[in-house]
Amino acid sequence: MMTAKEIRDSFKSFFESKEHLIVPSAPMVVKDDPTLMFTNAGMNQFKDIILGNRAPKSRRVADSQKCLRVSGKHNDLEEVGHDTYHHTMFEMLGNWSFGDYFKKEAISWAWEYLVDVLKLDPKNLYATVFEGSPEEGLERDNEAAAIWEQFLPKDHILNGNKHDNFWEMGDTGPCGPCSEIHMDSRSDEEKAKVPGRELVNKDHPQVIEIWNLVFMQFNRKADHSLEPLPAKVIDTGMGFERLVRTLQGKQSNYDTDVFQPIIKQIGALTGKQYGQDEKVDIAMRVVADHIRTIAFSITDGQLPSNAKAGYVIRRILRRAVRYAYTFLGQKEAFLYKLLPVLIDNMGDAYPELNAQKTLIEKVIIEEEESFLRTLDTGIKLLDKVMADAKSAGTTVISGVNAFTLYDTYGFPLDLTELILRENGMTVNIDEFNAEMAKQKARARNAAAVENGDWVVLKEGETEFVGYDFTEYETSILRYREVKQKSGVIYQIVLDKTPFYAEMGGQVGDQGVIVSEFETIDIIDTKKENGLPIHITKKLPQHPEAPMMACVDTDKRHACEANHTATHLLDEALREVLGTHVEQKGSLVSPEGLRFDFSHFQKVTDEELRQVERLVNEKIRQDLPLQEHRDLPIEEAKKLGAIALFGEKYGDKVRVVQFGQSIEFCGGVHAASTGHIGLFKILSESSIAAGVRRIEAVTGQAVEEMIYGLQDTITALKNILPGSSIETAVKKAIDENAALKKQIEEFMKEKTAQLKDKLIEQARNINGVMVISALIPAPAAVVKDLVFGIRAEKPAGTLVIIGSEENGKPMLTVSVSDDLTSRFNAGQMVREAAKLIQGGGGGQPHYATAGGKNPEGLHAAVESLIKAIEN
Ligand code: ATP
Ligand code: MG
């Protein structure tokens, strides 16, 4: 039996033998594409090639790509665990032709690999082809069908509709028919009863799609019409885990050597057995699947958080916690305990798992614990909702409540329903669905963008000249209109550009493009699918005119200084804190810099100073920028350059060096460190378990900061008399303390006087000496007063005080010990507190209550006196 690793290798060597270049998997977390959070198919990393923005290194490429299908167009999350063949993270094996071979080779090689190399039995294989679409004027993909007929009997070739068999990149762009290969792995008896062809694309767990071959031959325009694609593309994707399961003769992906070690460990840790109870099995599959996703996202640089991609990861983690909590009896953090077996299993192929072990563990534990607390709160909330429903005489809880539990506390409907069922209750599903639909509509509207077609003036690729120039002669290659929620903007692609497009944490350049007719403001520069895009609010009147592209140099130079300072900061942190420091995020703008890094405790003030001193020393040394452009990646590594995990690098990289600081970096930098001027840290904080954030400023921003400090000090000096601020403040504090003491003594005296006066005014009601008053005194004074009276009149006395401090009313009742059988201070206060909109209590001899409504104090005291009279 082939192992998973052997299967992966065999795929690569097969396509290598067909002259494909084998490339590495791109990172799973997508950082520079606004339309995509995670890689969800092998083709993502080639989008720019397919769109013609970049020339391919080779026309034939193959790889194994880590994919994540948990958001957007491909979201399998709810299936995962419930079935045995959808995962959140999975590997997609794929081969590509960029304008090289087409359907004939793609189909024959797929067949050759599956049947000749892997020895799959052809009688279990089915292929689908596009049936055509009259309204689009497209006929059946007879070309593909004819090729399949060389290998498969006609009744194993099935027609598929537009939904399953016509692939589109998006609303616009490349598209075309596709052809899927399905595998029937049922027993012979079952096959005899129902032929496999009837189960293809019917969600049968043993008749599943394993490989999809996409034939991109059209381009979809904004008006929805199709035009032929000049360079046709083959894009195939095969689910690795599904292939392994087929070859290892298993009925479920989770029974293969990819997942078994994790499943076994879950069993060992929870004492549950896989394969005995469907609910437990689902939970074990969910946990086994999700732990991979979570660990890999963290190494890829995407930590769980409360927004965007980070939130998606957080929700996956919470889903795993919930299943473990409900079905595996795990009431405490547990997922992190699976890391060792995951690393054992996958650490060889993915060394970053081992390298970042501590960080992954810390992040997971903290997330688990904080969610378990939320879960607890949610369960209490649900208890209350159920109690309210019961007292309202119904057994159906509102769907709005169920949605709040889902949205805020991460309770999916099935968990809520489960708890309700245990209590003989149900939920209004229609209401829940309506809330869900509302939320989806809100999300859709917020994200809606409409791209117009490109208006192409000249073919060509943009050349970036911004490392050497901030002004350059250029012309427009193409432009288009983009309608967003916030208004209409235009995207312009230039022939040559000095504008840096936002990337690697550095914000895009701003500036102007100028022709003899007009000046256009560029408000931002970004990259979309590898294409540098200049964003403007105004379209040029004469787009074909020669132009000058001019970057706003003040902003650019400030950016450069901040970027260079970031490299020096990184180096200094490693020196002061240790080499475990690894960049986890970075933002470089003209205003300042932000640097996130792994470190497991607070950075002390002393360490921060040391870091600042080191950076400023490097600034004074005025180290020149040593730039290595187009360095082969192997040589860059030999130089000892620091690379980032989860970043996509080509064969040739740019390396930026200032003295000992050497980093892979595409950003723009100061010509020498002296240009930074001065470096100052503004803050250090924690942003997640094991991740710290430093915010800092340089150059002129430090100057401004110093002026700000100076102004504050001058202002203080003007207020405080004396030569030194320190002495003056100390004196003020001492005086304050002395005054406070005086006031306390004064209060004591007053309290004693008040006590005597109140005793004098005591009334006899029903044989009880009642002392009552309304006074504007703090709680501590009232307490002293009441206890003073108790000491002096230990028997036959009842004291009632209404007091007020800073607008907050308070009631105090004291009953002398001999009267507690007749009067209970606690009960009296509780009853009367309603009049001040408050509550409280205490003991039978002494009780207090606070409230919100001081207006009610008088009535409250009166009501207490009444109570004694009766
Ligand atoms: P399905 O209909 O089974 O969800 P799909 O049509 O979404 O598959 P494609 O987008 O064509 O699949 O992806 C190519 C291949 O990737 C599929 O043939 C399948 O083998 C695999 N695949 C797709 N989604 C998953 C997933 N969530 N987990 C594991 N493998 C998957
Ligand atoms: Mg799918």
Mean pLDDT of the chain: 93
Terminal C-alpha separation, the chain: 93
Query: From the CA of 32, how far away is ligand 2's center (Å)?
Result: 24
pTM score above 0.85:
no
pLDDT confidence of residue 73:
83
Share of the chain above pLDDT 70, in %: 100
Question: Span 657-678, mean pLDDT?
Answer: 96
Q: Is 466 helix (H, G, I), strand (E, B) or coil?
A: coil
The percentage of the chain sitting over the pLDDT mark of 90, rounded to a whole number, equals: 77
Q: What is the pLDDT of residue 241?
A: 97
**Ligand 1 site, residue 168, Cβ cutoff 6 A:** no
Summarised one tens digit per residue, pLDDT across range 147-167 is 999 999 999 999 999 999 999
- 815's tokens: 């009953």
Strands across the sheet containing 583-588: 583-588, 593-598, 691-698, 679-688
Phi first, then psi, for residue 600 (nearest 5°) are -105, 5
Q: Which pLDDT value is given to residue 72?
A: 83
Task: Judge if the beta carbon of residue 97 lies within 6 A of ligand 1.
Answer: no
Verify whether ligand 1 is closer than 6 Å to residue 210 (CB atom).
yes
Give the distance (Å) from ligand 2 centre to CA of residue 251: 19
Q: What is the pLDDT of residue 679?
A: 98
pLDDT of 863 above 80: yes
| pLDDT for residue 215 | 98
Q: Residue 441 — very low, low, confident or very high, per pLDDT cuts 50/70/90?
A: confident
- How close is the Cα of 338 to the center of ligand 2, in Å? 27
Alpha-carbon span 337 to 340, nearest angstrom:
7
**Res 777: pLDDT:** 85
- What SS3 state is found at 504? coil
Is the shortest distance between the CB of 238 and ligand 1 below 6 Å?
A: yes
- What per-residue confidence (pLDDT) applies to 301? 87
DSSP string, 390-432: HHTT-SEE-HHHHHHHHHHH---HHHHHHHHHHTT-EE-HHHH
| Nearest-CA residue for atom 1 of ligand 1 | 209
| Average pLDDT, integer, range 469-480 | 96
Residue whose Cα lies nearest atom 30 of ligand 1: it is 239
H-type alpha helices, 448-552: none
Q: How far is the CA of 244 from the centre of ligand 1 (A)?
A: 14
> Which amino acid, one-letter code, is at 588?
V
Say which ligand is closest to the CA of 164. 1
**Distance of CA 509 from the midpoint of ligand 2 (Å):** 39
At 409, is the pLDDT very low, low, confident or very high (cuts 50, 70, 90)? confident
pLDDT given at position 307: 80
Provide CB contacts within 8 A for 503, sequence distance 6+: 32, 527, 666, 667
- Nearest-CA residue for ligand 1 atom 3 is 209
Q: Which atom of ligand 1 is nearest to the CA of 243?
A: 20
Determine the average pLDDT of the residues in 326-343: 95
Region 513-526: mean pLDDT is 96
Residue 684: pLDDT band by 50, 70, 90 thresholds?
very high
Burial grade of 220 (CB within 10 A; 0-12, 13-18, 19 or more): buried
pLDDT class of 408 with cuts at 50, 70, 90: confident
Encoding tokens for residue 758?
């109140």
Note the pLDDT tens digit of each residue in 209-234: 999 999 999 999 989 999 999 899 99
Instruction: Name which residue sits closest to atom 24 of ligand 1, judged by CA.
Output: 86
**pLDDT tens readout for residues 252-280:** 999 999 999 999 999 999 999 999 999 99
3-state SS, residue 624: strand
| CA-based nearest residue to 96, from 242, 233, 290, 252 | 233
Which ligand is closest to the CA of 237, given by its number? 1
Give 247 Cα–ligand 1 centroid separation in angstroms.
Answer: 17
The average pLDDT across 322-343 equals: 94
Distance CA(251)–CA(48), nearest Å, equals: 38
pLDDT of residue 202: 93
The residue to mutate among 169, 209, 253, having the most atoms of ligand 1 within 8 angstroms of its beta carbon, is 209
Average pLDDT over residues 154-181: 94
Any atom of ligand 1 within 6 Å of the Cβ of 166: no
Looking at residue 853, its pLDDT comes to 93
Q: Report the pLDDT value the prediction gives residue 645, as an integer from 0 to 100.
A: 73
Q: Give residue 209 CA to ligand 1 midpoint distance, Å.
A: 7
Q: What is the pLDDT of residues 596-648, one digit of tens each?
A: 999 989 999 999 999 999 999 999 999 999 999 999 999 999 999 988 877 77
* Most distant CA atoms of the chain, gap in Å: 115
Of the listed ligands, the closest to the CA of 77 is 1
For residue 61, name the pLDDT band (cuts at 50, 70, 90).
Answer: very high
Ligand 1 atom at minimal distance to the Cα of residue 76 = 27
The answer, yes or no, to whether any atom of ligand 1 lies below 6 A from the CB of 334, is: no
237 Cβ closer than 6 Å to some ligand 1 atom: yes
CA 770 to chain CA mean position, Å:
64
Distance 281 CA to ligand 2 centre (A): 22
pLDDT on residue 787: 94
Q: 735, exposed or middle or buried, with CB in 10 Å at 0-12, 13-18, 19+?
A: exposed
Q: Is the pLDDT of residue 511 over 80?
A: yes
| Whether the CB of 292 sits within 6 Å of ligand 1 | no
Mean pLDDT of 687-701: 94
Q: Is 239 in the pocket of ligand 1 (CB under 6 A)?
A: yes
Cα–Cα distance, 706 to 677 (Å, whole number): 13
249 alpha carbon – ligand 1 mean position (Å): 19
* 540-560: pLDDT as tens digits: 999 999 999 999 999 999 999
Planar angle of CA 795, 801, 805, nearest 5 degrees: 145
Q: How confident is the model at residue 724 (pLDDT cuts 50, 70, 90)?
A: confident
How many angstroms separate the alpha carbon of residue 69 from the centre of ligand 1?
9
Confidence band, pLDDT 50/70/90 cuts, at residue 122? very high
**What is the predicted pLDDT for the residue at 711?**
95
Question: Which of 463, 410, 388, 402 lies closest to 433 in space, CA to CA?
Answer: 402
Reply yes or no on whether the pLDDT at 446 is more than 80: no
Minimum CA distance residue for ligand 1 atom 31: 239
- Tell me the mean pLDDT in the region 70-74: 87
pLDDT of residue 450: 83
182 Cβ below 6 A of ligand 1: no
